[in-house]
Structure 1
C-alpha cells in the first residue's frame, strides 16, 4: 500500500508537523485548502508544521463557489507544486484531496492529507474521481503517504458532511452485494481478505448510527476509520470494486450532469445515499420477482443500443467513450441466452445472499434518515424521473457487473425502473 502512516485520534492536529517530518523530513510544504477547511484547522496545521521547522506556503481556494475536481483545477495545483520542490499537504476532504492526489501523481511526488470531515472513502484510495471534458472518470494516481485526522475536527464538521460520509459508507452494502453477484457469475471473484477490510467496519458503523447522528467523537472516528478501510481495500485490489457498485454509477451520472441544490453541487455521499436505497430496493425485489419469463425475451440489437447511448449522452465525446464500454459487455445470441440461464440457475442462492448481505430496506432508510442522509431524489434536487434517467445511464458507463446489468440482460430493465 502507498499509505504508510494513518493517524486518527483526538488532538491529532497538534502532531501534523512531527508526522510530516517522520514521512518527508524537512522538505518545504505547500498547504492547499479552501476557505472552509482553512477555518476548520488551518491555524493549527500551519503552527504544527512551523514548530517542526517545516517551511510552509499556502494556497487557499475560495469557500464559494466550491472547488471542483476537473482538469483545470488539477493543472493549477500541478503548477503550484512544480514551481518549487514542495510536498503537498491538503487540508480538506474529497474534492481537494482528489485534485492534490492527481497533481502530486503527475509530478511523481508523495503527499499528505489532513482530513477535515468523514465525508468520503476516497482519502486513502488509489485514483481520483475527476471530470475530464465533462466525463466523470477515475484517473490513476497514488494514495496519500500520510493520512491524519483529528476526531474533534471530524465531529465538528458540518452535519451534512458527516451524513455524506455515512451515505458513502452504507453504499458498501450494495457494492458488496454487486461483488457477490459478480462472484457467483464467475465475473470477478471475491478476495476474502479485502472483503473483510470493508465489510467488518461497515457493520460496526451501521450499529453505531445513532451515536454518529449525535456527532459523538468516538463514533465519528469509527466512521472515518471505516471509510479509510475502504480506501485501503482499493489500494490492495488496485480496483474500486470492494467499495463501489451500481449506487456509485448512479452518482457518477449525476456528477457528470452537475447536479446542484441551491446553487451548490450535491455531495458525492448524498448522491450515493439515494443510489444505495434504489439499488437496495432492486435487490430485495429479486427475492419475490418471477423472472422465469425472461427466457426468450427479446433484447435490443447493438444498433438499437448504440442509438440509445447516443441519445442519452448529448456530448459526442462522452457518447463515444461510453460506446466502447457498452460494446465490451454487450451480449447477444447464444452468449445472452447462456447468461440468462446462468442468472436463473443462481437466483435461489442469490436470494439467500441478498437476505444475508443487505439490511431490510426500511431499517437502512431509517438509519440514513437519522444521520440526515437524503433518502428521496427530491432531497438532492432531483425528481423520480431524474433517478430513473440516472439508473439508465449508470448501466451504460462502466464495465463492472452490477444488479443493473442483471436486470438489463434479463430484458427486465423497464421493470427495474418501475420498481424504484
Structure 2
C-alpha cells in the first residue's frame, strides 16, 4: 500500500524547531458492551456535579434514551434532553440560548455524527466540558476537537474542544444501520492520503510534521486495509475494532493540534462535493471521503485499487453513481476542492487539476464511468 510516515525530510526548514501547540486529549475512554448503563457514574468520575444537558436525535432517544436516563438518575444527575435534526450553526445557536438558561455543568452528545458535532460545538460556546457518547461509528469526530456544521464561514471542519471523555457502547453501535459503519471505514482509509498530503506539505513548504501523530493515524487506516476481509462480517469484534480505530484517529488529531493527520485532499473533495451537489444530496461524509481517497491515492501513486477493494469489502461505495452523484459533479468538485482551503498544501496544490485532468482521474480510478 504505502510505507509508514517518515520523520525525515529534504526540506531545508525541517531542522527548525516545531511550533508550539496545545494538546488536549480525552481524559477517559470507556468502551464495551452495555456500558451505557455506566454513563452516570462515568460523568461523575469526570467531574459532573448535578445538572447535565443531553443533546441527541429523535430516533436515538427513542431507541436508547431510557438506559441513558436511568443511569443518570441512578447517579443523582438531573438531565435535560434536547433533540436535534440537523448539524448547523442555526441549531447550535438555538441550543445555546436554551441550554445556558439552565446552566448545566456538563454537556453530553448522545447519538450519531450530527448530535455529537452539535453537542461539541454547543459545549464549546457554553464553556462546559463535553462527553461524547456515539451510537454510530460513522467518523472520527467522536474523539477529536473538530466539528462539521453548516452555516459557518469555513467550508471545512472547524475546531472546538476535545471531548473530556468518550463512552462507546459497542452493542448500541452494532445496532446502527450498516451504512454508517461502512462510512466510518471510508473516513478511516482517508488517513492514508491525509498523512501523505501532510508529508508532501512538509517536503514542499517546510510545514510542521508530527511523525507520532501521523503514524497513529496511518495505523488506524492500515488495520482496515489489512483486515477488511475479516471486518466485513461486522460482528461485535469488527465493530469494536472500527470504533477503536476511529477513536485512535481522533486522538491523532488531538496530538497534532490540527486535523492534518486525518484530513487532506480527500476531505477537500468531500467538502467541495457538498458545495457542488448540496449537503443533503451527496451521501454520507465517510462515503464522499472514501471516493476522494480512491482518487487521491491514485494521484499520490499509492495502491488505489486496494483502497477501492477495502471500501467494497466494507460495503462502502466506490463509484459516484452509488450515492447519486453525477460525473459532472465529481469533476466540478475535483477542480474546486483546493480553492476551499488554499492554506492547506495537498497533492491538489501540486497537480492543479483542470477539468480535463479531473475527468481523466475520476474515470481512470473508476469513480465515474466516463
TM-score, normalized by length of structure 2?
A: 0.85
3-state DSSP of counterpart to 2:339: coil
1:123-177 Cα shifts (integer Å, max 9, x gaps):
2212322222675243331011111101111122110100110000011111112
Task: Answer whether contact 1:259 1:265 (CA < 8 A) is retained.
Answer: yes
1:148-227 correspondence to structure 2 within 5 Å: 148-227=167-246
1:255-404 correspondence to structure 2 within 5 Å: 255-257=274-276, 259=278, 266-284=283-301, 358=302, 360-398=303-341, 399-404=343-348
Task: Answer whether contact 2:155 2:340 (CA < 8 A) is retained.
Answer: no
1:168-204 Cα shifts (integer Å, max 9, x gaps):
0011111112112222224324312111221123212
Residue of structure 1 equivalent to 2:5: none
1:3 aligned to 2:26?
yes
Listed as ranges, the gaps of 5+ residues in structure 1 are: 62-66, 285-357
Residue of structure 2 equivalent to 1:243: 262
3-state DSSP of counterpart to 1:242: coil
1:15 aligned to 2:33?
no
Residue of structure 2 equivalent to 1:85: 103
3-state DSSP of counterpart to 2:83: strand
Residue of structure 2 equivalent to 1:406: 350
1:62-97 Cα shifts (integer Å, max 9, x gaps):
xxxxx3222101112212320112122111122211
Structure index of larger Rg: 1
Task: Answer whether contact 1:282 1:416 (CA < 8 A) is retained.
Answer: no
The structure whose residues are more often helix, as a share, is: 1
CA RMSD of aligned residues (A): 2.0
Distance 1:56 1:4 in 2: 22
Task: Answer whether contact 2:332 2:355 (CA < 8 A) is retained.
Answer: no
Distance 2:196 2:243 in 1: 22
Distance 2:153 2:212 in 1: 36
Distance 1:70 1:77 in 2: 11
1:3-82 correspondence to structure 2 within 5 Å: 3-61=26-84, 67-82=85-100
Deviation at 1:215, TM superposition (A): 1.2
Listed as ranges, the gaps of 5+ residues in structure 2 are: 1-23, 363-370
Deviates more, 1:267-276 or 1:214-223: 214-223
TM-score, normalized by length of structure 1?
A: 0.76
Task: Answer whether contact 1:131 1:137 (CA < 8 A) is retained.
Answer: no
3-state DSSP of counterpart to 1:243: coil
Distance 1:85 1:393 in 2: 43
3-state DSSP of counterpart to 1:8: strand
